[in-house]
Structure 1
Amino acid sequence: MTWTAPQITRTDEILTGDERRQLQNFLDRHRDTLLWKCSGLTADQLKLAPVPTTTLTLLGLVRHMAEVERGWFRHTAAAQDGSPIYCSDDNVDGDFDDVPDADAEADFATYRRELALCDAAVAGLPLDHEATRPRGDTFSLRWIYLHMIEEYARHNGHADLLREAIDGATGE
């Protein structure tokens, strides 16, 4: 039997609330949008690179976002283990490049697990919490949330194009 990405219902948009609740809601909605763009596709479809000018795939985007979430929320903000999931010094783009041999079901489970771990890692930190990366740059948790929303917005645009090229499905 072929694995198919589960159907997803996106988080409802909230229009009021404190800053933390609003940032988390925007982030969750973007996370859900990426999964929504993948929903109902088979593992083979998720691995397709249907746009001739790029090798980008929907599964590669899911793997990449698991890496980025871990790097920013767990490693940078919460100072937890930030070991890469798919990448290494010898394979810096493993999240994108190693898709042909990837296990889509396992990668989706890794992504969902990483989201839960990231949310838990920063839940007790104030938005003004500052974290410094090894090269010396300092970031507030607020900036990290905004950056992650930006990262998802860009990649969800890619996901829109990829999904339409795979099966014609469109939607906001």
Structure 2
Amino acid sequence: MSTSPQRWSIATVYPDMWVDPDDDPRNTDAHSPDGERATLLSYLHDYRLTLDLKCQGLTLEQMMMLSVPPSTMSLLGLVRHMTEVERDWRNWITEGESEPLIYGSLDAAFDLSDISPHPDEAVLTEAFDRLEQEQEATDTEVSRHADLGTHVGREDIAVREFLVHRIEEYARYCGHADLLRECIDGRTGQ
């Protein structure tokens, strides 16, 4: 007997999709952005939305569910990790003193032991608000550099490479989020 949730989707037009195309907030209108920067930022935006979509409608308890032992990965851990990563990335492309890590280290974001044994749903609001703040701060820093070939910050990384790296990181974690969400409630989709 399996304890796996039955697969389902909220979509009605294409039942293998996460949401119906008309309800999808991502760039699904078949119009490509003009230019390299706009294309990269569009992909980044859509992957960020995908991570958010994969977490919508879940309780804190569900967001804290771990994948498979001994992994400490959970959807809440992914959100916290990406918050930490956004700050860390911003430190790559800025000069001067690095901003301190939020959760102690990139991997410590997956350790949810700092959350009280009886947390309330405000933990989720705080996690998503913090992620949005870090994303906006990093986006602001990237916007200061018009030429994607410019090498910036203490890592001397090209802005283009920095953007592609961010897209790759979100894409990887959205794949993890797909599997985590399906394990939680069976919801699948694009």
TM-score of Structure 1 vs Structure 2, range by shorter chain: 0.7 to 0.9
- Residue type at the aligned position of 2:157: F
1:127 — aligned with what? Answer: 148
* 1:75 aligns to 2:91 (yes or no): yes
TM-score by length of 2: 0.75
Higher relative contact order (CA 8 A, sep 6+): 2
C-alpha separation in 1, matches of 2:104 and 2:78: 13
The number of aligned residues is: 158
Kept in 1: contact 2:44–2:167 (CA 8 A): yes
Q: Which moved more, 1:51-60 or 1:111-120?
A: 51-60
Change in 2 beyond 3 A, CA 1:99/1:28: farther
CA root-mean-square deviation = 2.1
- Residue type at the aligned position of 2:152: A
1:111 — aligned with what? Answer: 131
Secondary structure of the 1:32 match is helix
C-alpha separation in 1, matches of 2:114 and 2:64: 6
1:38 — aligned with what? Answer: 55
- Residue type at the aligned position of 1:20: R
Q: Which moved more, 1:38-47 or 1:76-85?
A: 76-85
Provide, for residues 122-148 of structure 1, a one-character-per-residue CA deviation record: whole Å limited to 9, x for no partner. 112131221354xxx531111011111
C-alpha separation in 2, matches of 1:160 and 1:100: 25
Kept in 2: contact 1:86–1:95 (CA 8 A): yes
Kept in 2: contact 1:66–1:111 (CA 8 A): yes
User: Which structure is larger by alpha-carbon Rg, 1 or 2?
Assistant: 2
1:84 — aligned with what? Answer: 101
1:159 — aligned with what? Answer: 177
TM-score by length of 1: 0.82
C-alpha separation in 2, matches of 1:41 and 1:141: 35
